[in-house]
Structure 1
Amino acid sequence: MAISIGDIEIQDWELVESFIRASGPGGQNLNKVASAVQLRFNAKNSPSLPGPVKARLSKIAGRRMTADGEIIIEAKRFRRQEQNRDDARARLAALIERAATPPKPRKKTRVSQSQKRKRVEQKRKRSEIKAKRAKPNLAD
């Protein structure tokens, strides 16, 4: 069951899943069953990801990415192993989907002359109002 995000498809052999014991609700079953999932994906060496996506993914992943370029996602929201497995894969897909969409280029804008004049005029008026609040100088 490969993960597909647009034209990017990550094969199962690129994903390493290990099952660990989860904390939280579960009663006696909690100490016997490894229901949490730790999903590992080596993004740095993945042939499925283009270069720009890898670069954006390393910024977006943050502390989930190791120094070796491996993304680690732990899923332990649910009591069932299958649900946690699907959750981990969905979170990885969402992360890659965010990295796959390039950011919009910033358009440079300038403040218009009329806006600059308006700002200075407002400052001048405010200054006059504050000056009128001052105590009169009786020495004059």
Structure 2
Amino acid sequence: MIDISNEVRYTTARSSGPGGQNVNKVNTKVSILFSINESKILSTHQKIILSDKLNSRINKDGYIIINCEKTRSQLKNKELALASLNALINKTLIPSKKRIYTKPTKASKLKRMKNKKILSDKKTNRRSIGF
């Protein structure tokens, strides 16, 4: 479990979410910026994995940006965005399981052949006798 709360930058803006008239006055939307390359907590191996797997989420400056505007509170949005970023990074660093290749069973082969025969008979019966 990696906690990256010390290495993120926060920016705030006016939210389009809930808040009534407060939406026009208070900056409740929170954006978290995290740079994988500048991180001191991550090892070089972890940086490579994150860069490869999260390539579509990294902008041209090298930052992962997470936005949150779910609640009316800036503090709650900060906590939610940070939790989301932590979950994303921790989930990405879990190694995926290798697929174990297996042969089809005898029963599955027989079932496949039976279905093929049924379809074949159905199409054969559709043919009209040529005149």
Normalised by the length of structure 1, the TM-score is 0.75
Q: 1:29 to 1:125 in 2, by over 3 A?
A: closer
Percent identity of the aligned residues?
36
Alignment of 1:35-114 (within 5 A): 35-61=28-54, 63-112=56-105
Larger CA deviation: 84-93 vs 54-63: 54-63
Measured against aligned partners, the alpha-carbon deviations of 1:91-115 in whole angstroms (never above 9, x if no partner) come to 1011011112111111122334664
Q: 1:84 to 1:121 in 2, by over 3 A?
A: closer
Q: Does 1:131 align with 2:107?
A: no
Distance 1:123 1:35 in 2: 61
Structure with greater strand share of residues: 1
CA shift at 1:51, angstroms? 3.6
Query: What is the number of residues matched between the two proteins?
Result: 131
Distance 2:56 2:90 in 1: 18
Note the aligned Cα RMSD (angstroms).
Answer: 2.5
Specify every segment of 5 or more residues in structure 1 that has no aligned partner in the other structure, as ranges.
Answer: 1-5
Which structure has the bigger radius of gyration? 1
Distance 2:27 2:5 in 1: 24
Distance 2:43 2:82 in 1: 19
Is this contact kept in 2: 1:61–1:95, CA < 8 A? no
Q: 1:82 to 1:93 in 2, by over 3 A?
A: same
SS at structure 2 position matched to 1:9: coil
CA shift at 1:16, angstroms? 0.6
CA shift at 1:31, angstroms? 1.9
Q: 1:10 matched to which residue of 2?
A: 4
Which protein has greater RCO, CA pairs closer than 8 Å, 6+ apart? 2
CA shift at 1:42, angstroms? 0.7
Specify every segment of 5 or more residues in structure 2 that has no aligned partner in the other structure, as ranges.
Answer: none
